Amino acid sequence: MIQANIQEASHSYLYTFKVFITIIAICLACFYLLSPILVPIIISLSLYALLTPVTQYLVRKNCNHSLAIVFVLLVLLMLSFIALGYILPRVFDQLLLLQTKLPAIMTLVENYLTLGSKKITDLFGVELDMSEIFISLVSQSTSLGNTIIIGTSDKLISIMISVLLIPFMTYFMLKDFRSLRNNLMNCLPNSSFELGWLIYYRVSSQLQIYTRGVLIQAMIMAIITTIGFSLIGIEIPVLLGVMTGLLNLVPYVGPLISIIIASVVVLGMSPFDPSLLYLGMLVIVTGQIIDNTIVIPAFIANAVDLHPILVILGIIIFGNIFGMVGIILAIPAIAAAKILFTNLYSDIYNSSQRYSLTSSNTHE
Amino acid sequence: MRHFFWSNFFSRTNNEQEKIAEYWLKTPLFKGIPEAQLKHLVKNMHLRQFSSNETIFFQGDQGAGAILILQGSVKVMAKQVELATLVEGDFFGEIALAETDKRTADAIATTQTRLVFFLKQDLEEWVELEPQYGAIFLKNLAQTLALRLLKANNLLAQKK
């Protein structure tokens, strides 16, 4: 009896795996086909998730559906223009400041590395010139930067088209996504109809909680670190704060990169104050403590229940295949795949148990 | 000609929606809910067609929501025993609106049947948007589930 149960479970597991792989392959094919407009689609979907409750509310208050969508989008566009008009000039000013400081920062880092190399040579008797390694790294990253800038300017038209596409896509998603989704779900056979909706419901609600949580988390982190950097007197606090907030979207690795960036900026400040280096790190670490003890439990806890090793592996693999978009999408994609697999398995196992029970009753 | 086509096309849909709203309003679940609210909800409900003897769900399946019979009839069974036969205007599977874990019985269409699915997802969205009506609905749901539990207990007591 026990052996039969084990056999049944392993058979269900194998069958679930086959169905799961087929669905994932279809999703990846769609992902590949849509890759040229993937970023505007993701942004539009996020805006759809954010704005749907507002438009639904207006519709229930007897406002025309299309009018409600246009109204909400116009308000959003106005707010975005105001915010960009306020933030962009400051960010550009700070970028210019960083550009003027950059040669000084490089020289300073080079000097520190030369000193460090000398100490290592004196202590261990090993010939090591870290400044040379640094110079070659800088030249490589400069050429990479140039390639990115040239590539970006080449793609400027497609970027502009993507930016223009976002409001249109959001409009049509708000207007027709629901009926399109319902029509697609109606294509499911009767036997899978409820299971299909359940999986959709679980994935979408988890992704909604996750997206909302992550955006709030990034915003809070940006505000805390901007205030912290301004209070301790580090230059370009707004730019550094915004960067720290955005880097917080990348788990584990993001905070480390933001510490490195803040340290580089402190190193370039004249006169150089070593205490600022520790205070800068303290600001980021404090932000992380608030993030882990207050923000995550309040907004993201239970949104995704994934093992840290799975998260890190996912980020590396997705990052290698899909680049920056992959790094940001890794966690929600793995969480969605996990829900899909567990629900499929539970349904298939249930069906196989029912089938074996019916056939044993027939034999009796 | 064009006017004739479109007016028929839409009036048929509207008639169907009105019939669904009318049936739901007669159920204890929507007692005290304004008709206008229900009409908005009905727009998001899902119509499915089942052939005679087709299983709607099995005991133990995960359920996504409550089901209203728009046309036809449904047999509810547990462990090969027929518990009830439901007809046009009846509803079943409402436990899934509270907990989507497991269906508690088998449901089989006995004739060509048209069913309307009211999904838990749509209920939750509505409760978030209209909490005052959501509270009334959830109270109605609790009462309906309590009544069904009472009936089941009585049946068990009679058997013993």
pLDDT in tens, A202-241: 888 888 778 878 888 888 999 999 999 889 888 778 888 8
Dist. CA A43–CA A167, nearest whole Å = 10
Cβ contact (<8 Å) for A197 and B64? yes
Instruction: Name residues whose C-beta falls within 8 Å of residue A283's C-beta, 6 or more positions apart in sequence.
Output: A224, A225, A228, A229, A232, A262
Task: Please tell me which residue of chain A has the smallest CA distance to B39.
Answer: A60
- Residues B100/B64, Cβ–Cβ less than 8 Å: yes
Taking the C-alpha atoms of residue A349 and residue A358, their distance in angstroms, rounded to an integer, is 14
Which pair of tokens denotes residue A195?
């299971």
318-347 in chain A: CB under 8 A from chain B: 343, 346-347
DSSP string, A21-41: HHHHHHHHHHHHHTGGGHHHH
pLDDT tens column, A55-111:
888 887 778 888 889 999 999 889 888 877 877 777 677 677 777 777 777 777 777
B93 → chain A, closest CA residue: A194
Subunit contact A178:B44, Cβ cutoff 8 A? yes
The percent of residues in chain A predicted with pLDDT above 70, rounded, is 82
A216 in contact with B, Cβ within 8 Å? no
Question: What pLDDT is attached to residue B3?
Answer: 44
Candidates B40, B44, B61, partner chain A, best to mutate (most A CBs within 10 A): B61
Contact B64 A198 (CB under 8 A): yes
Query: What is the ipTM score, two decimals?
Result: 0.83
Query: Looking at beta carbons, which residues of chain B come within 8 Å of A200?
Result: 121
Nearest by CB to B48, from A193, A198, A347: name it: A193
Is A127 strand, coil or helix?
A: coil
Cβ contact, residue pair A182, B46, below 8 Å:
yes
| Inter-chain contacts counted by CB atoms under 8 A, chains A and B | 60
Return the CA Rg of chain A.
Answer: 26
CB contact (8 A) between residue B62 and residue A194: yes
Q: Are A261 and A232 in contact (CB under 8 A)?
A: no
Q: B56–A190: do the CB atoms touch at under 8 Å? A: yes
Query: Would the CB atoms of A201 and B60 count as touching at under 8 Å?
Result: no
Are residues A197 and B119, on separate chains, in Cβ contact within 8 Å?
A: yes
As a whole number of angstroms, the distance between CA B82 and CA B110 comes to 12
DSSP state of B62: -
CA distance B12 to chain A (A): 18
| Mean confidence (pLDDT) of chain A | 79
Alpha-carbon A357 to chain mean position: 46
> Using CA atoms, how far apart are residues B17 and B24, in angstroms rounded to an integer?
11
The residue that leads in pLDDT, A327 or B18, is B18
Q: Is the pTM of this model over 0.80?
A: no
Predicted confidence (pLDDT) per residue in A103-156, tens digit: 777 777 777 778 877 887 787 777 666 667 767 766 666 665 566 556 555 666
What string of DSSP letters covers A188-250?
S-HHHHHHHHHHHHHHHHHHHHHHHHHHHHHHHHHHHHHHHHHHHT-SSHHHHHHHHHHHTTS
Q: Given strand B73-78, what is the order of strands in its sheet?
A: B55-57, B106-109, B73-78, B81-87
| Closest Cβ opposite residue A60 in set B54, B64, B130 | B130
Residue type, A43: I
- Touching check for B79 and chain A: CB below 8 Å? no
pLDDT score of A364 more than 60: no
* Residue A166 contacts B where some CB pair is shorter than 8 Å: no
Distance CA B139, CA B154 (A): 23
Across the interface, whether the CB atoms of B60 and A354 are under 8 A apart is answered: yes
Would you call B57 an interface residue with chain A, using a CB distance cutoff of 8 Å? Answer: yes
Residues of A in contact with B44 (CB under 8 A): 178, 182
Look at residues B60, B96, B52 and name the one whose alpha carbon lies nearest to residue B78.
Answer: B60
CB A230 within 8 A of CB A237: yes
Whether the bond between A271 and the residue before it is cis, its omega within 30 degrees of 0, is yes
- pLDDT in tens for each of the 160 residues of chain B? 444 444 434 444 678 888 999 999 999 999 999 988 898 889 889 999 999 999 999 988 888 899 999 999 999 998 888 888 999 999 999 999 987 668 888 999 999 999 999 999 899 888 988 889 999 999 999 999 999 889 888 877 887 6
